[in-house]
Structure 1
Amino acid sequence: MRNPLDATALNEALEDVHHAGVPGLFAEIRNSDETWRGAAGVADRTTGRPVSADMKHRIGSVTKTFTAAAVLQQAERGTIGLDTPIGAYLPHLVPGSRGETITVRMLLNHTSGLAEYLPYVYTSLRAFPDLARTTPECFDEHRHTHFDRTDLIRLGVTAPAFGPPGGAPGLYSNTNYLLLAALLEHVTGIPAEDCITENVIRRAGLHDTEFPTGPHIDGPHSRLYESWFGKIDPPRDYSVFDMSYAGPSANLTSTVADLNRFYAALLSGTIISPSSLTEMQQTTQVVSQELSTIPYGLGLHPVESSGGQTFWGHGGTVWGGGTLALIRADGQRQLALALNLQRWNTLDASGRPEPHPIDKALATFYDLAMNA
């Protein structure tokens, strides 16, 4: 039996997240033929400009589902083999025995063993993750740096491996998805961004989702406030940032409405075939950037609601911005949420994030969104 949306409770729960410390957030929930949109707080702490539910937002690693869908499309066409070694396509990027062993599937589900390249860009060759010692200055140093994708891939490939190809658990690594972008370019002959735009974004009927061409977000948007575990106080605005450091692993901008449209199209067979969706939903264990071990498929991961329902989707973070987009396995209930504050927790003596009132308020909102 379908539970209707309780707009009053959802609005109150969203406001509670704002009052717990998030400057602004907005969301859209779909429940069969019902749609609720809500927003709470401000898009600009200086002027008091309010957030609205139709704003553009950097969606971070939610981009990975788009990239994975484009790869699965090519697999359906026979131009990519999921269990073909990446060295068969890109021997210059992954040479030697690893290129002969790491498969496309291992890149998609993060079991390649390849390291994350970001700490080698931002933290002067420190081991990943090293949240306690990373300094805020690194973000400002590279705010306007335009990175070459091949250089970033080389950093990840030449760094000490997390583990052997196919080992479990794997390591969530942006290196994997930059390699997938290079693979798309290799087999299609066009930039990965164009391939994803034409074959995924347009096929899903999205009008407010795009890859940025510069450091600014096009269209109405919120400022994005980064706290970096209390080390930036007050949190600093990083809404203007060259996203070439992430590329098609995490650089799309979108809206909460478009994200719900996208995941509905993905599960309904509009973008990929049912058999490809089944491939995407085959999970393995992966160590996330938060150091927890999560089940992860091919650009998708499952989330269990408190009511025992399985949702599929992805979360994403950029400097100052967070996104979560989920769809229930039956396709009948969806959530897309955007926040303009990140890494609000302080760290304990071991470098682990400590609980914060925002966490509890978000958990309450998620419970309502997924079960109410």
Structure 2
Amino acid sequence: MTTPLDPHALTAALEHGHRAGLPGLFAEVRAGDETWRGAEGVADVATGRPVTADMRHRVGSITKAFTAAAVLQQVEQGRIGLDTPIGHYLPRLVPGDRGEAVTVRMLLNHTSGLAEYLPHAYPSLNAFPDLAGTRPDSLDEHRFTRFRAVDLIRLGVDAPAVGTPGGTPGVYSNTNYLLLGELLAEVTGEPAEDCITRNVIAPAGLNGTAFPTDPHIRGLHSRLYEAWFGMIDPPRDYSVFDMSWVGVAASLISTVADLDQFFGMLLAGEIVTPSSLAQMQRTVRVISQEGTTIDYGLGLHPMVDTRDRAFWGHGGTVWGGGALAMAAADGSRQFAVAMNLQRWNLLDDTGRPQAHPIDDALTAFHHAAMYGRTAGRPETAEAGRPA
């Protein structure tokens, strides 16, 4: 039996998040036949325009679940082999011994050993993962830069390896998913964005979901405020930004309702087959971009409570925008939450992000969304933060 929603707890958590410092946040939670939507705060700090739960939003690395689903569909059709070396398909992008060692599965679960390209494409971030040594200057310099995915991939491939192919823990890297985009284009003969739209987004009826074609978010949306760990004060609006810097790894625009529908259908075996879903849910240990070690499947990340009840989904952040969407493995509920501020944590003396009341508010929201009026808790609070 599905535990009823707790509208009071959900609303209170959003209000807490706004009071704690988020300009605005909005969400949808589904439990059986019940649906709750809520929004708190403003979409524009200058005008006071309120956020609403139907806004379109940049959802960051949640895009990876869509890309992974499209790849698994091609696996089902025999065009891609999960354990086939990527060099078989893209020898010019991943040449030689590395191309023979790195498989499609390793790209999907971040065990390829390929480095993240972002610190090489954005010079002021080249100290990453040493956050204290980074500066946000490159964000302004590249607001309208049109990157080519193959150029970004080469930056990641040419950088020092961060692990051996297939070794664990893996290291989360957007290079992996840009390569998967090139793989989709190679085997289908169309841009990866078109393949994902035609085979994943459209059949699922996700009318508010699309890849951007220019730096703007079309339709009702919020401004997106980036703080970069207190180095941008006040936070700056990056809602107008060319998203070619992440492509099919993290550029998708969606709504919280569409995210709930997508993950509900995915976990029900309606987007990929049950056997493909089982592959997506085979996890390995991966070091996230926050430096924590998480369980990661093929484009899916689990949250597990103390009673072994599993939720599957993904989090995502881009400049100024963040989101998290999860669905219960048994199909009993889904939730998605979006916020219009990122990197709100200040750094401590060791260069690590300090705890912030916003984190507590989001954890409270995840708890209320996952468990309604029951008393379960996720494995860790960190697991609930967008990756």
State the TM-score, normalized to the length of structure 2.
0.95
Counterparts of 1:351 and 1:306, CA distance in 2: 31
* CA distance in structure 1 between the partners assigned to 2:125 and 2:310 by the alignment: 39
In 2, distance between residues paired with 1:30 and 1:198?
26
Report whether the alignment pairs 1:264 with 2:264: yes
- 1:47 matches 2:29: no
CA deviation profile, 1:217-240 (whole Å, cap 9, x unmatched): 000000000010011111110000
TM-superposed CA distance for 1:307, in Å, is: 6.0
Single out whichever of 131-140 and 177-186 deviates more from structure 2.
131-140
- 1:306 shift after superposition: 6.0
Percent identity, please.
69
Deviation at residue 2 of structure 1 after TM alignment: 2.3
Contact 1:305 1:367 in 2 (8 A): no
What is the 5 A alignment of 1:249-260? 249-260=249-260
Distance in 2 between the 1:12 and 1:169 partners? 37
Q: Secondary structure at the match of 1:200?
A: helix
Between stretches 231-240 and 115-124, larger displacement belongs to 115-124
Residue 123 of structure 1: CA displacement? Answer: 2.6
Which runs of structure 2 are paired with 1:191-202 in the superposition (5 Å)?
Answer: 191-202=191-202
After the TM superposition, which segments of 4 or more aligned residues of structure 1 sit over 6 Å from their partners? none
Q: In structure 2, what is the Cα distance between the partners aligned to 1:157 and 1:263? A: 31
Residue aligning to 1:71: 71
Runs of 5+ in structure 2 lacking a partner?
Answer: 373-387
Q: Secondary structure at the match of 2:12?
A: helix
Distance 1:34 1:230, change over 3 A: same
In structure 1, what is the equivalent of residue 379 of structure 2?
none
Q: For 1:286-330, what per-residue CA distance to the aligned partner results, in whole angstroms no more than 9, with x for missing partners? A: 000000000000000101246652100000000000000000110
Q: CA deviation at 1:366?
A: 1.2
Say whether residues 1:81 and 2:81 are aligned partners. Answer: yes
User: SS of the counterpart of 2:131?
Assistant: coil
2-side partners of 1:228 and 1:99: how far apart?
A: 35
In 2: Cα distance, 1:120 partner to 1:42 partner? 34
Q: Aligned residue for 2:30? A: 30
Cα deviations by residue, 1:58-112 (Å, 9 ceiling, x for unpaired): 0000000000000000000000000000000000000010000000000000000
Aligned to 2:157: 157
The alignment of Structure 1 onto Structure 2 pairs a total of residues equal to 372
Aligned to 1:205: 205
Query: Quick one: distance in 2 between partners of 1:44 and 1:128?
Result: 30
What SS does the corresponding residue of 1:177 show, helix, strand or coil?
helix
Alignment correspondent of 1:293: 293
Residue of structure 1 equivalent to 2:377: none
Residue equivalent to 1:133: 133
After TM superposition, the score normalised by the length of structure 1 is 0.98
Q: Which moved more, 1:209-218 or 1:118-127?
A: 118-127
Which amino acid in the other structure matches residue 140 of structure 2? D
Q: Distance in 2 between matches of 1:210 and 1:293?
A: 31
Measured against aligned partners, the alpha-carbon deviations of 1:330-370 in whole angstroms (never above 9, x if no partner) come to 01111100000001000112211001111111111111111
Unaligned 5+ residue runs, structure 1?
none
The one-letter amino acid paired with 1:278 is A
Q: Which residue of 1 aligns with 2:375?
A: none
